[in-house]
Amino acid sequence: MTISQVKQTAKESLRGNWGIAIGIFVLAWLIETVASGVLSWIPFIGWIVLFLLTGPLYVGVSWVYLAISRREQPEVAYMFSGFKEFGRTFLAYLLISIFIFLWSLLLIVPGIIKTYSYSQTFFILRDNPNISALDAITESRHMMNGHKGRLFGLSLTFLLWYLIPIAVGIVGSVIVFGGMASVSYTSDPTELISALAAGATFGGFVLMLVAGLISLGISLYVYPYLITSVAVFYDDLYAASEGIYVEETVIVEEEVDPFAQTEQDPFANDTHPEGFGPETTKEPETPKDENEPK
């Protein structure tokens, strides 16, 4: 499927399911925000608990969007299904995080490439209840061979939605730093330039807040659309790999038993090379009489 076909299929799957799709995103965001706000006050242990919470929750959310892409009707409680298989889901999230971190130590680009290599892991865990976390990562890596660029192109079409809030945030940041620098170099706080710098700093903070709100509003639409599209991409890729496997299996079976037709009629085909088949059916030649006139 082309990128446009994947997105169109995802949009059709979301038709009538936008409510639960956006609700799952908002609920997961609230849980993550509140949990990080509370647990961040607990040194070390709080971050471990937050990591234990994030992995299965993120996996469960991915499973919800996979179900939506398949025109199923998942309930909100399904987003917590990752906790029912905590061992596999958390280990997969942990290993992926470690692998991407280690690859990112080389350069940022290898880390991004590996992110796309491992992108199908959570979907594989859902479709294969008996597969281990490491095997799911390996299968995702094999499945994405030759397809990472296509998935990157798909995700890039969604990242373009954030160009406006990114631009607004950059402008706000520049104004804030410029205003703070002007205030710090002004000795007399009563001077006009100090008041203008303070106003510019406040305006920059407002722009940064607006950029954050715009990003959140865009995410309400883009995030469910993106993850559902990735789920459609996974099903399309899985179907293609299954087709290749079936075709290779048929070819192997034909190679294993090349003389299957000989059991019925070994000489049914009259196109055998010389020395086989048709030559055996020739009538024996009558010996010539030496006295016969030429």
DSSP string, 230-268: HHHHHHHHHHHHHHHHHHHHHHHHHHH-TTGGGGT-TT-
Of all residues in the chain, what percent carry a pLDDT higher than 90? 52
Token pair 């016969």: residue: 292
Side-chain-side CA neighbours of 13 within 13 Å: the count stands at 28
pLDDT bucket at 271, cuts 50 / 70 / 90: very low
Of all residues in the chain, what percent carry a pLDDT higher than 70? 75
pLDDT bucket at 182, cuts 50 / 70 / 90: low
Whole-number Å distance between alpha carbons of 16 and 22: 12
**pTM exceeding the 0.95 threshold for the entire prediction:** no
User: Are the C-beta atoms of 172 and 204 separated by less than 8 Å?
Assistant: yes
Whole-number Å distance between alpha carbons of 116 and 151: 7
pLDDT of residue 193: 57
Taking only the tens place, the pLDDT of each residue in 28-57 is 999 998 988 888 788 888 888 888 999 999
Selected residue with higher pLDDT from 52 and 271: 52
Whole-number Å distance between alpha carbons of 96 and 223: 20
Taking only the tens place, the pLDDT of each residue in 195-229 is 666 777 778 888 889 998 999 899 999 999 999 99
Q: How many residues belong to the chain?
A: 294
pLDDT bucket at 189, cuts 50 / 70 / 90: low
Token pair 């209840």: residue: 129
